[in-house]
Amino acid sequence: MERGRTRGFDNFFDTAIAVCEPLVHPDRDCLLGNIYHILGQVNYHNNNVDESRDCMEKSLELQRKVCEEDGIVDERLAMAYAERGLTKMQDGLYEEGIADYEKDREIRESLGTYAPTSKEGNLASAYMALGKLERADHILTEAITRRIELYGEKDKESFRYFEFCRISRIDSFAMLLNTNERTIGPAGWHTRLVDYGMYRVDTTKV
């Protein structure tokens, strides 16, 4: 299904939803939420912005319901907020996307499982799109520091590319913002460049 190769899955999710919705099994909501989550990702990678956001909305609501009924809050709920936030950012709803990302972080911190990932790159990109450059720089700087504290200087995660986003010049932010508009901004590219460290900028050449 990756990168739009979904032809072999035509009607698969429709069938899965049709089978799952009438179930009375106690795991029905969790299973249905997972189906909508995967379908949302498929639509995301195909640049079907509205369909992706709709699926992530449904996934989040179902996960909320599961957590409320079980009396728990877990990482599945955090992930549901983050995924909905990404679809909102992709559609230019940056402030709503930021709120979802902040909720994701709040939940993970309460569980003691928070660690900076590429999500901080997406969050910073949203702030840049809103012209809040200092806030974007703060998020990335804090995330780099926290990640080094957790995993050391030899951390191999692609997240470390964000180290190149320690920007001191507005021109560099403009370059990053241009990259953003080809990724989580107006639909056009399948690849989430933000997630793969494409903030890398040589600030000596801008």
Mean pLDDT of the chain: 76
If one compares 196 and 145, the residue with the highest pLDDT of the two is 145
Mark out the alpha helices in 10-160 (DSSP H runs).
12-20, 28-45, 49-70, 75-90, 94-111, 118-129, 133-151
Q: Contact 185/92 with Cβ under 8 angstroms?
A: yes
Q: Averaged over 125-142, what is the pLDDT? A: 89
Question: Element (H or E) spanning 187, and its range?
Answer: none
Q: Contact 45/55 with Cβ under 8 angstroms?
A: no
- pLDDT given for residue 151 in this prediction: 80
Q: Averaged over 169-190, what is the pLDDT? A: 42
Residue 154's contacts (CB-CB under 8 Å, 6 or more residues apart) are none
Q: Contact 127/165 with Cβ under 8 angstroms?
A: no
- pLDDT given for residue 150 in this prediction: 84
CA distance 125 to 139: 10
- pLDDT given for residue 8 in this prediction: 57
In the predicted model, is pLDDT for residue 161 greater than 80? no
In the predicted model, is pLDDT for residue 137 greater than 60? yes
Q: Contact 57/80 with Cβ under 8 angstroms?
A: no
Q: What percent of the chain has pLDDT over 90?
A: 32
Confidence bin at 48 (pLDDT 50/70/90): confident
Domain residue ranges in the chain: 11-114, 120-206
Confidence bin at 3 (pLDDT 50/70/90): low
Residues in the chain: 206
Tokens of 74: 């877990």
Least confident of 45-49, 51-55, 127-131, 175-179: 175-179
Tokens of 23: 């179930």
Question: Element (H or E) spanning 172, and its range?
Answer: helix 170-180
Q: Which fold has domain 11-114?
A: 1.25.40
Q: Tens of pLDDT along 84-133? A: 999 999 888 999 999 999 999 999 999 999 988 888 888 988 998 999 98
CA distance 28 to 176: 42
CA distance 44 to 194: 14
Q: What is the pTM of this model?
A: 0.71
